[in-house]
Amino acid sequence: MDEINKIPPVTRTMIFATLGVTLPGMLQIISPYIFFLWWPAITGKFQIWRLFTSFFYGGSGIQLLFDIFLLLRNSTDLETNKFYRKTADYAWALMIVGSMIIATNYPLKSPVLFNPLLMAIVYLWSRANPHSNVSLFGLINCPAKYLPYAYLLFDLLRGGTPYAIQSATGLLSAHIYYFLNEVLPATNGGRGPNYLPRTPAFLQNLLRDSPDPRVQGQEAQQGGSVRSTAWGGTAYAPAGRSFEQDDDDVEHSWGSGQRLGN
């Protein structure tokens, strides 16, 4: 239980949602189609849950295990380090990206959005750690900034053009979010306008920040510094740490997930 509680809350919720949606269908307890994104059921029968559950049906087989592992590693690092355990900010970012994924998949009539979501998280992680090195399948070292494109190529080889296009919608959605939320506001010496809505107050009240036991005692003894991050408003960092430090010269142990394993 302690190991589960160490997983930050948004990532933990996504992992449990993936298991809760995928396993009943995989074990044939219920039909998985009840979770799929089917617009006639949403608009005609008000089955609104499909907008959520379609992101968390992960399929079956060994690929499911590796995708969950990839989701766990990359999302944990993103939520912990880039968003610095700002639960509401990370959840809001995923809501915005998820809305873009739904919009870009509407003309494709994609019933399942798990892979685009996974691709979006990998892309955001790669942007947060551009100089880290990751291992592909335990064979090839790859700069993190190229990781999403390597996975996109793999999806093309594994599932053909339609599958790769679906994955690319996640990459595109995450890139639009990154561009609007970080690149454009950084123009004019950081005085550019905000192009995306900030995290709503009700969500901040609902989702409290996740405490980091590693720094709680350190902050009490040394004091903390408050820094602004363009990915989620204001975050608290322990004294002496900069959010701009990417550990460029160190091979990153998180986010080096493999689609087909080592």
| Per-residue pLDDT tens over the stretch 95-135 | 999 999 999 999 999 999 999 999 999 999 999 998 888 88
**How far is 192 from 182, CA to CA, in rounded Å?**
10
Share of the chain above pLDDT 90, in %: 60
| Per-residue pLDDT tens over the stretch 19-51 | 999 999 999 899 999 999 999 999 999 999 999
pLDDT for residue 261 is more than 50? no
**How far is 170 from 115, CA to CA, in rounded Å?**
8
The rounded Cα 41 to chain-centroid distance in angstroms is 27
pLDDT for residue 188 is more than 70? no
pLDDT for residue 81 is more than 50? yes
Q: pTM for the complete prediction? A: 0.80
* Mean pLDDT, residues 170-179: 97
217 CB contacts (<8 Å, ≥6 apart)? none
**How far is 65 from 226, CA to CA, in rounded Å?**
38
pLDDT for residue 204 is more than 60? yes
Q: What pLDDT score does 214 carry?
A: 59
Residue scoring higher pLDDT (130 or 54) = 54
Which residue type occupies 56? F
| Per-residue pLDDT tens over the stretch 219-244 | 545 544 333 333 444 333 333 333 33
Q: What pLDDT score does 34 carry?
A: 95
**How far is 123 from 129, CA to CA, in rounded Å?**
10
